[in-house]
Amino acid sequence: MFERRQPIPIAEAVKKIMEYEMQGVTEPISIEESYGRFLAEDLTATCDVPHFDRAPYDGFAIRSIDSSDASASHPVEFEVVDHIGAGMVSQKLIAANQAVRIMTGAMMPEGTDAVVMFEVAQAYEKNGIPYMSIKREFKAGENVSFHGEDAKEGEVLVRKGTLINPGIQAMLATFGYNQVPVAKKPLVGLFATGTELLEVDEPLVPGKIRNSNSHMIAAQIERAGGAVQYLGKLPDVFDTCFTAVKNALDKVDILITTGGVSVGDYDFLPEIYEKLEAKVLFNKVAMRPGSVTTVAQHNGKLLFGLSGNPSACYVGFELFTRPIIRRMLCSSKPHLRIEKAILETDFPKANPFTRFVRSSAYIECGKLKVTPSGLDKSNIIMSLAGANSLTILPGGTRGFTKGAEVDVLLLEDQAGSEWPW
């Protein structure tokens, strides 16, 4: 009467998916649009930084050699022969005991090799000509930012696969990357299945619920860095479903369906995979929630058959689909980051299978702590709102008590893990 499915371990399921070496595609976009995208190439320095010796302070640029005799009892006087701000270049040739008044960021005038900050100079005029004097020696290079001090041309500064943050934006601008090579967002198609589903703007009727999974998954795709193509709800007619799935595969990089993958009487997906002649990588995983997650491959495209149950759907996406999206964004750490945390509440339920508990991770007194973000019934969406992590409670355990050390997967983190299992 039921189809018997053989659950496989989580690590094996993830491995089967990651064997498909989906490649990232480079897309050049303008620097204005690149924040929050992923670098598709290593970011290299296109010039030395600074690309000239520069004054890091407001003051007077001098030839240090002229200051060698300066002391409290023997001030040395300089004639101030020029005055430059950042962006200006002095045209003067600096002779002995001459100085240039210089502002932060300006290029050191030729021949000068030290900057006397205003605070330690005595400035005055004689016959309308500006002078300044100092009471100590300045060493060659004192208060100078040197050419190439921050970066050398050709140096790799940031590795490909890195999320572009404000600091990287600054670097891109510094090195003239008006066009930035970022990873094209993989296009993830999304079908919902289920006769019970209403659209968000439809009124409730008995027995039906609004389709929340598609909106949730769409946001998860965006969080992972993908682009969403919502393809609508699949009707309850096999041929229509089959054609819709088949046609969608040509238009997207990855295809997700929610619902219809279990062994229920109205679950069409297994038959669709069969008729497509898709290779089913697995259709049951030893985990809760999400055990009925099915992943198949057809003509080099991956089909993720996620559960219709919101929690199972959520977890299935994060464990199985996210790493493929991140891989296509050139990440070398495509999996959710895993960390140790202290469990802050008892979790008395036994775990025959490894359980992923939606939870809220937070730092307290410098330590990572975690607490379930709501009841753990798999049909309760409420707990998803407060979840920033999934606590892993390994299978074969008899429950956990407050204070236990547990593994958590961090959902909002961008650093990632190479392999969390």
Residue 341 engages a second copy in binding (rule: CB under 8 A): yes
Binding-site member from 11, 42, 85, 154 for a second copy (CB under 8 A): 85
Please report how close the Cβ of residue 385 comes to a second copy at its closest, in angstroms. 4
Identity of the residue, 158 or 183, whose beta carbon is nearer to a second copy in the bound complex: 158
Q: Which is nearer to a second copy, 89 or 95 (CB)?
A: 89
Told to check if 213 binds a second copy by CB under 8 A, we report: yes
Token couple for 318: 């994060």
Q: Give min distance, CB of 171 to a second copy, in A.
A: 6
Q: Does 401 bind a second copy (CB under 8 A)?
A: no
The interface region with a second copy, picked from 188-196, 279-287, 320-328, 346-354 by CB under 8 A, is 188-196
**Class of residue 415 by CB neighbours under 10 A (exposed 0-12, middle 13-18, buried 19+):** exposed
Count of C-beta atoms within a 10 Å radius of residue 340 = 11
For a second copy, the binding residue among 20, 35, 131, 421 (CB under 8 A) is 35
Choose between 194 and 249: whose C-beta lies nearer to a second copy: 194
Q: For residue 296, what are the β-bridge partners?
A: 280, 303
CA distances to 17, 149, 404 from 48, in Å: 43, 8, 51
Q: How far apart are CB 25 and a second copy at their closest, in Å?
A: 23
* DSSP letter (8 states) at residue 221: H
CB–CB of 28/306 below 8 Å?
no
Q: Is the dihedral of CA 337, 342, 343, 345 positive or negative?
A: negative
Only one of the segments 63-71, 211-219, 238-246, 347-355 lies at the binding site for a second copy (rule: CB under 8 A); that segment is 211-219
**Amino acid present at 370:** V
Which class for 147: exposed (0-12), middle (13-18), buried (19 or more C-beta within 10 A)? Answer: middle
Identify the residue among 96, 170, 237, 350 touching a second copy (CB under 8 A).
170
Does 15 interact with a second copy (rule: CB under 8 A)?
A: no
The nearer residue to a second copy, 72 or 204, going by C-beta atoms, is 204
Residue 14 DSSP one-character state: H
Q: How far is the CB of 289 from a second copy (least distance, A)?
A: 12
Q: Which of residues 293-312 bind a second copy (CB under 8 A)?
A: 308-310
Which CB sits closer to a second copy, 180 or 296?
180
Asked if 405 touches a second copy (CB under 8 A), the answer is yes
Among positions 10, 99, 115, 151, the unique one binding a second copy when judged by CB under 8 A:
151
Report the chain's terminal Cα–Cα distance, integer Å.
35
The answer to whether residues 186 and 283 touch, using CB atoms and an 8 Å cutoff, is: no
The least distance separating a second copy from the CB of residue 224, rounded to whole angstroms, comes to 10
Task: Give min distance, CB of 208 to a second copy, in A.
Answer: 5
Of 40-69, which residues contact a second copy (CB under 8 A)?
A: 47, 49-52, 56, 58
Cis-peptide into 28, omega within 30 deg: no
Nearest in space to 53 (alpha carbons), one of 176, 141, 118, 137? 141
Question: Out of 19, 201, 239, 250, which residue is the one contacting a second copy (CB under 8 A)?
Answer: 201
By CB under 8 A, is residue 286 in contact with a second copy?
Answer: no
Q: How far apart are CA 366 and CA 368, in angstroms?
A: 7
Q: Does 266 bind a second copy (CB under 8 A)?
A: yes
Backbone torsions φ then ψ of 18, nearest 5 degrees: -70, -10
- The site that binds a second copy (CB under 8 A) totals a number of residues, namely 109
Contact (Cβ atoms closer than 8 angstroms) between residue 165 and residue 66: no
Please report how close the Cβ of residue 256 comes to a second copy at its closest, in angstroms: 13
Within 370-399, the residues that bind a second copy by CB under 8 A are 377, 379-388
Distance of CA 224 to the CA centre of its chain: 8
- Using CB under 8 A, which residues numbered 89 to 108 contact a second copy? 89, 101, 103-107
For residue 112, state whether it binds a second copy (rule: CB under 8 A): no
Minimum Å distance from CB 131 to a second copy?
Answer: 13
DSSP string, 79-138: EEEEEE-TT----PPP-TTEEEEE-TTPBPPTT--EEEEGGG-EEEEETTEEEEEESS--
Residues 6+ apart with CB under 8 A from 336: 318, 319, 322, 390, 409, 410, 411, 413, 416, 417, 420
Residue 28 touches a second copy, criterion: CB under 8 A: no
Does position 208 interact with a second copy (CB under 8 A)? The reply is: yes
